Chain A
Amino acid sequence: NAGVMQNPRHLVRRRGQEARLRCSPMKGHSHVYWYRQLPEEGLKFMVYLQKENIIDESGMPKERFSAEFPKEGPSILRIQQVVRGDSAAYFCASSPGPGQPYNEQFFGPGTRLTVL
């Protein structure tokens, strides 16, 4: 049973370019969460999605950032017009679907974004 997969593992972009980060949840999981971790800091919640629905995006910057989790395929976190301050590790986590009252989350290996 494969764990949470993220790709790419490392991504380098120049200022102004777009970054696309992908996350495939564990088999059987329909809840996906994105977190950002700045160097030597904690994990900050960005967005929580279920298939085709954004449940909570309270942690996502209002501009340049968007996320989706389509019916088919991985969840995607998109950052448009990247700036140096976007450089961070972006972790995706997944948890079981409806009926689970406690959302034990399993983390992917992360995507380390570097903006030059």
Chain B
Amino acid sequence: GENVEQHPSTLSVQEGDSAVIKCTYSDSASNYFPWYKQELGKRPQLIIDIRSNVGEKKDQRIAVTLNKTAKHFSLHITETQPEDSAVYFCAANTNAGKSTFGDGTTLTVKP
């Protein structure tokens, strides 16, 4: 089955700096890669996703890149703000439906 590895497990940055979280996947059939943000005690919320037919997608301060050959994808957050502090999860999906999640990255943005 699919295996998703996510790094780093914790990340601390200064407000205004950039943050990068990386994930690798194993199943070449995976074709949809969402990223979720989860605040303490709350549900995971989709923040951005990318499909296998594109290499990059951007939404304001958030961008995601995908390298299908290397089977890795990354989340980039620019101009970080304290409210970006949360746990971020990557996931990989095939058409079979279920999501395989990475173990999460705890991002702390220091004011």
**A43-B101 CB under 8 A given contacts A102-B51, A107-B45, A108-B43:** yes
Q: Is A22 an interface residue (CB 8 A)?
A: no
Interface size class of B (residues with CB under 8 A): 20 to 34
B61 at the interface (CB under 8 A from A): no
Closest B residue by C-beta to A58: B1
Q: Are B99 and A45 within 8 A (Cβ)?
A: yes
Kindly state whether residue A69 has any CB partner on chain B within 8 Å. no
Question: Which chain B residues lie closer than 8 Å to A116 at the CB level?
Answer: none
Interface size class of A (residues with CB under 8 A): 20 to 34
Chain A CB within 8 A of B89 CB: yes
| Given A102-B32, A102-B93, A104-B34; A45-B100 close (CB under 8 Å) | yes
Which 5 A/B pairs are nearest by Cβ-Cβ distance?
A42-B103, A102-B32, A107-B43, A43-B101, A42-B104
A interface residues (Cβ-Cβ under 8 A, vs B): 31, 33, 35, 41-45, 48, 55-56, 58-59, 91, 93, 95, 101-110
